[in-house]
Amino acid sequence: MQLMVYNVLKGEKMSRLKLRNGLKSQILKLILVIILIIISFIVTFKLLYDKIDIEMDNNTYLGYLVKDSFSNYDLNDLKRLSSTEFLLKYSFGIEKINTGTNVDIVTPVIKNEEKNDKTTNKEPLVYIFNTHQTEGYNRNFLESFNINNTVFIASHILKEYLQDLGISSIVEENSIVDVLNTNGWKYGYSYKASRILMENAYKENPSLNFFIDLHRDAASYERTVLEIEGKKYAKILFVVGLEHDNYEKNLALAKHLNEKVKEINPSLSRGVLEKKGPGVNGKYNQDFNQNTILIEVGGQYNYIEEVNNTLKIVAKVIYEYLENEKKE
């Protein structure tokens, strides 16, 4: 009897062992299949990637991504924004060249076909700079490509629109931060730093006769956006410092440009802000030249597309002003 019980127990134990071994075998087979699937996926992906790499270079591939993402906008107006070279060179993936000086020079490259023949070999008339170069706009899909939307990009967009109208322009590409660091200055000395670059630019280009310090505001989105016929624009604000002897001329210029913008749309400009007293700069380097203006284009919540739409109008207004100056 005991022998029979023993044999039964032994049989059950063997059955459980076989079942367990069979289960282990199935699990191992499943793991093996999963590994094979993963390997197949990796190999397939690599083959496809290599094929894409052969047939489509990185610039073309990124260009397609950018254009697709801008599909809701006017791609003719956004030609520069969909230009891979523009995005990669001007967006703090910036390439720098050591010039042997204390300041690195940013050297963007514009394709020859993007240059306007009207401005070829012309001496520059307009100088565009950013006292606060790192002021940024709202983040969008471009951040996925390590591209930051800043007033520096906006300056280059404005330059391109001016050059399309035949106004030769340059953008200050030296780093304000480098000037501050070199001199041991804090951020509050930014206008002093931009003044140095401004004066150097004028020495090198005495033809310069119009100076634009381009900023963005820190106001709410509701205060800085305007929709016209389904198209959004970043509102602008002119700022004039009243703490220098000739501020009346800068103020008159700002008011004139403001009125011209309002003629296009009365809500596009937020007006002219006159500043003086404790806690403000009071000059904003406008004592340098009577044709010096500070424009805040949009705010931190605006998208670069909205800024782009507005800068096309700003360029037109500045162009008309400079053309009228020639006649007088």
User: Tell me: the pLDDT tens digits for 40-98?
Assistant: 777 666 665 554 444 444 445 444 444 444 444 444 444 555 554 555 454 444 343 33
Residue 51 belongs to what domain range?
A: 1-55
In a domain, 64, yes or no: no
CATH code where residue 184 lies: 3.40.630
Whether the Cβ atoms of residue 209 and residue 290 lie closer than 8 Å to each other: no
Model pLDDT, residue 141: 61
Model pLDDT, residue 190: 93
Model pLDDT, residue 69: 44
Model pLDDT, residue 33: 78
Model pLDDT, residue 116: 45
In a domain, 20, yes or no: yes
What is the C-alpha to C-alpha distance for residues 255 and 270, in angstroms, rounded to an integer? 11
196 is written with which tokens?
């140095």
Which CA distances in Å does 219 have to 257, 293, 298, 301?
21, 20, 8, 8
Low-confidence winner among 29-33, 68-72, 104-108, 200-204 (lowest mean pLDDT): 104-108
Number of domains making up the chain: 2
Model pLDDT, residue 45: 62
Residue 281 has pLDDT above 60, yes or no: yes
pTM over 0.95? The answer is no
| Same domain? 242 vs 120 | yes
Percentage of the chain lying above the pLDDT 90 cut:
50
| Same domain? 153 vs 41 | no
| Same domain? 23 vs 162 | no
Model pLDDT, residue 94: 39
In a domain, 66, yes or no: no
3-state DSSP call for residue 152? helix
| Same domain? 98 vs 4 | no
Burial of 172 (0-12, 13-18, 19+ CB in 10 A): buried
Residue 37: pLDDT band with limits 50, 70, 90: confident
Average pLDDT over residues 299-315: 93
What is the C-alpha to C-alpha distance for residues 320 and 222, in angstroms, rounded to an integer? 30
Helices vs. strands in the chain: H and E counts, helices first: 9, 10
Q: 152-186: per-residue pLDDT in tens? A: 989 999 999 999 999 999 999 998 999 999 999 99
In a domain, 65, yes or no: no
3-state DSSP call for residue 147? coil
Low-confidence winner among 9-13, 74-78, 87-91, 100-104 (lowest mean pLDDT): 100-104
In a domain, 67, yes or no: no
| Same domain? 80 vs 33 | no
| Same domain? 120 vs 227 | yes
Whether the Cβ atoms of residue 224 and residue 302 lie closer than 8 Å to each other: yes
| Same domain? 31 vs 102 | no
Quote the crossing angle between the two packed helices 247-264 and 304-327, to the nearest 10°: 120
In a domain, 316, yes or no: yes
Residue 211 has pLDDT above 50, yes or no: yes
Model pLDDT, residue 105: 34
Model pLDDT, residue 111: 36
| Same domain? 139 vs 232 | yes
Model pLDDT, residue 34: 86
In a domain, 106, yes or no: yes
Model pLDDT, residue 239: 96
In a domain, 210, yes or no: yes
| Same domain? 50 vs 195 | no
**Mean pLDDT, the chain, integer:** 77
Handedness of CA 245, 247, 250, 255 (dihedral sign): negative
Average pLDDT over residues 285-291: 95
212: β partners: 128, 293
Model pLDDT, residue 54: 41
What is the C-alpha to C-alpha distance for residues 307 and 38, in angstroms, rounded to an integer? 46
Residue 237 has pLDDT above 70, yes or no: yes
Model pLDDT, residue 238: 97
Model pLDDT, residue 106: 34
User: CB-hemisphere CA count at 13 Å for 75?
Assistant: 11
| Same domain? 218 vs 126 | yes
| Higher local confidence (pLDDT), 272 or 110 | 272
| Same domain? 40 vs 85 | no
| Same domain? 195 vs 323 | yes
**Element housing 233 (H / E):** strand 231-234
Average pLDDT over residues 224-241: 94
Model pLDDT, residue 279: 83
CA nearest to 161, candidates 34, 314, 50: 314
Low-confidence winner among 72-76, 146-150, 242-246 (lowest mean pLDDT): 72-76
